[in-house]
Structure 1
Amino acid sequence: MLRMWTASAALILTGAVLLTGCGNDKSEGKTSGSGEAKLKIETSFYPMYEFTKQVAGDLADVESLIPAGVEPHDWEPSPKDIAKIQDADVFVYNGAGLEGWVDQVLSAADGSSLTVVEASKGQDMMEGTEEEDHEAEEAGHDDHDHGGLDPHVWLSPVRAVQEVRAIEAALGKADPDNKETYKANADAYAAKLGQLDQEFKSAFAQVKRKDFITQHAAFGYLAKDYGLEQVPIAGLSPEQEPSAEQMAGIVNFAREHKVKTIYFETLVTSKVADTIAKEVGAETAVLNPLEGLTDEEKAQNLDYIGVMKQNLEALKKGLNQ
């Protein structure tokens, strides 16, 4: 779960402000092929980086704050990271409570010329389950959960398009001279996402079953948009431990519905999924929430669309057993 900011965060922010004061001016930096200064863009984690890079093309220097292989739910920025945000032209984050540190950081940057993009803003958001909210309260995490909202909109291709469009609009505002280029780039990427959306629709139209068990409740939007039912073992945070009652309920569901695959994810341990799979005689498979590419995935030149196609194949196999 996301950790609550304390007095130590204020010290981090103070240090970041001092670092920013000593940093480079925003007008400095690399230039595009046309000789114009490139935008400096900081993004929170991988999907925001990928979507922004696709829209920006070679007109911006785009960085991801959260490094490869790091699970983003509990990551917190260092003073250097905060200074990067404050020194950027544009900052892109998902929102809906995923990046629990954002409000504190942006309040410190208030009054700057930073263009801020909450990519999920304006979407029809889903709420977490009552069980997840109850567990968060019992664990004392009511101040650092997702605010009751499911932030994982990027895992539905059709909703990913909406995030891309939000980024396009912001880059056009920050750099109006290149607005048409950003639009053309966004159009091209949206077309690829549209094709991915059609592949998902076609694949799930004729599957034998509609329900799938996941270790982490990250695939609610994907399930909703393609007529499926996600049955999560735990809640919105991958670190949330299921209760004994939840475990028993999942085991009973798996047996009753003859589930043959239990999905776990990259970046976190698969022990809970392994335990349930062993109990019911099922196999396990990866369903990647794309919260950060591993070094191995990067070495394979995988990207958002490539990983989502892997997810599609993994789901299609499980739903046809």
Structure 2
Amino acid sequence: MIKKTLISTLLLLGTNALSNINVTTTIYPLYNIAKEVGTDKIKLNNLIPFGIEAHGFDPIAKDMAILSKTDLLISSGDLMEPWKNKIVSSLKIENKVFDMSKHVKLIEIEEKNHNEHDHEKDHNHNSNIDPHYWVSLNNYILMTKVITQLFIEKDPVNKDIYKENSDKYLQKIEALKIKYDTSLNSCKNKKILVNHNAFGYFADEYDVKQYSISGLTPESKPSAKVVSELIDLVKNEKINTVFFEEFASPKVAQTIAKAANVKIDTLRPAENISKIENEKGYGYLEIMEDNLEKLKFAMDCK
């Protein structure tokens, strides 16, 4: 009996050892899904450190070591990660890369909105596609389903665990989507001014006009003329809140809000979180729920 139990235990341990896939994600939304679906059945790394602005990230030697050992690299796409292809090629891990941007609904940038404030094209953004697709809850649902299937294909032994974790997480996403749908159907002024052009998918799905201080990346600095135009915009469009982002400088947003005598607040595109937030279990859904409350006030929703 003892011998039989020992054999069963060894077989179980062997199975678990084989089933721990080494997964690397590039940005936080992908990491959050992988963490929720994979739990302790995967070894998970996110390349961009917590608290770092995602657009300004460049891999270092430590990141190369992580990538060289990964079984699966889940990328958000070339537009957010212009550094990826050269590194993947040098490490010869092309067969381990999964590009999530090919599995979601993509939209084009509103060129009129981007150009009307006379911004230069952002570096490394050579396409008209908006790379911030995870801001759409519909896309986030797709991303969760895709990552679940990826894990099942890589590790069929733990298929039921991945499926159960995924179903639970999808229920939470769907519940939040219902909140968005019901809360934003009676807004009086569907216009927002944000730090950078990261909320296009949200704006597209809920018929919101998005204005941005900078372009596709928060590093873009508007000229004095643009700032003056944005102050007038806030006043003329009766925008009551100027939004900035936690991991980018709030100075320009503060200047505009003070001159226009309106509120200033954070609105997060969930590109990253802080280390403390991650340790406390504050993640994508919590960010999006907090965003909703701020958007309801900004757009005068009942």
| TM-score bracket for this pair, using the shorter chain length | 0.7 to 0.9
2:129 partner letter = L
- Which of 223, 229, 233 is 1:249 aligned to? 229
Q: Does 1:154 align with 2:131?
A: no
| Structure 2 CA distance for aligned equivalents of residues 299 and 173 of structure 1 | 29
Q: Does 1:298 align with 2:278?
A: yes
**CA deviation string 1:266-309 (max 9, x = no partner):** 10110111111111111101101112112443354311111111
Q: Does 1:211 align with 2:191?
A: yes
Q: Is the 8 A contact 1:208 1:320 kept in 2?
A: yes
- CA deviation after TM superposition for structure 1 residue 189, in Å: 1.4
Task: State the match for 2:106 in structure 1.
Answer: 125
Report the CA distance shift for 1:53/1:298 in structure 2 as closer, same or farther (over 3 A).
closer
Query: What are structure 1's unaligned runs of at least 5 residues?
Result: 1-30
Task: State the match for 2:96 in structure 1.
Answer: 115
Q: Is the 8 A contact 1:95 1:118 kept in 2?
A: yes
| Structure 2 CA distance for aligned equivalents of residues 296 and 266 of structure 1 | 14
| Structure 2 CA distance for aligned equivalents of residues 63 and 79 of structure 1 | 15
Q: Is the 8 A contact 1:43 1:63 kept in 2?
A: yes
Q: Does 1:229 align with 2:209?
A: yes
Report the CA distance shift for 1:75/1:32 in structure 2 as closer, same or farther (over 3 A).
farther
Q: Is the 8 A contact 2:19 2:158 kept in 1?
A: no
Task: State the match for 1:85 in structure 2.
Answer: 67
- CA deviation after TM superposition for structure 1 residue 129, in Å: 4.1
Identify which range, 163-172 or 178-187, moves more after superposition: 178-187
- CA deviation after TM superposition for structure 1 residue 317, in Å: 1.3
- Helix, strand or coil for the counterpart of 2:219? coil
Task: State the match for 2:3 in structure 1.
Answer: none
TM-score, scaled relative to structure 2: 0.86
Q: Is the 8 A contact 1:53 1:62 kept in 2?
A: yes
Q: Is the 8 A contact 1:45 1:64 kept in 2?
A: yes
**CA deviation string 1:65-111 (max 9, x = no partner):** 1111101111111122122112111111211510111111221233x
| Structure 2 CA distance for aligned equivalents of residues 127 and 240 of structure 1 | 19
Q: Does 1:97 align with 2:79?
A: yes
**CA deviation string 1:165-215 (max 9, x = no partner):** 221222222223333432332222122111111111111011221111111
- Helix, strand or coil for the counterpart of 2:128? coil
TM-score, scaled relative to structure 1: 0.82
| Structure 2 CA distance for aligned equivalents of residues 160 and 261 of structure 1 | 26
Q: Does 1:74 align with 2:56?
A: yes
Identify which range, 270-279 or 158-167, moves more after superposition: 158-167
Q: Is the 8 A contact 2:105 2:133 kept in 1?
A: no
Alignment of 1:304-315 (within 5 A): 304-315=284-295
Q: Is the 8 A contact 1:86 1:114 kept in 2?
A: no
- Which of 261, 270, 273 is 1:281 aligned to? 261
Identify which range, 96-105 or 243-252, moves more after superposition: 243-252
Alignment of 1:39-50 (within 5 A): 39-50=21-32
**CA deviation string 1:142-181 (max 9, x = no partner):** 5x22633211111121111111122122222222333343
Task: State the match for 1:27 in structure 2.
Answer: none
Q: Is the 8 A contact 1:255 1:280 kept in 2?
A: yes
Report the CA distance shift for 1:206/1:76 in structure 2 as closer, same or farther (over 3 A).
same
Q: Is the 8 A contact 1:32 1:60 kept in 2?
A: no
Report the CA distance shift for 1:32/1:189 in structure 2 as closer, same or farther (over 3 A).
farther
Query: What are structure 2's unaligned runs of at least 5 residues?
Result: 1-12
| Structure 2 CA distance for aligned equivalents of residues 318 and 136 of structure 1 | 28
| Structure 2 CA distance for aligned equivalents of residues 240 and 169 of structure 1 | 37
- Helix, strand or coil for the counterpart of 2:192? strand
Q: Does 1:316 align with 2:296?
A: yes
Identify which range, 122-131 or 266-275, moves more after superposition: 122-131
1:302 partner letter = Y
- Which of 163, 169, 172 is 1:189 aligned to? 169
Identity rate, percent: 29
Rg larger in 1 or in 2? 2
- CA deviation after TM superposition for structure 1 residue 56, in Å: 1.2
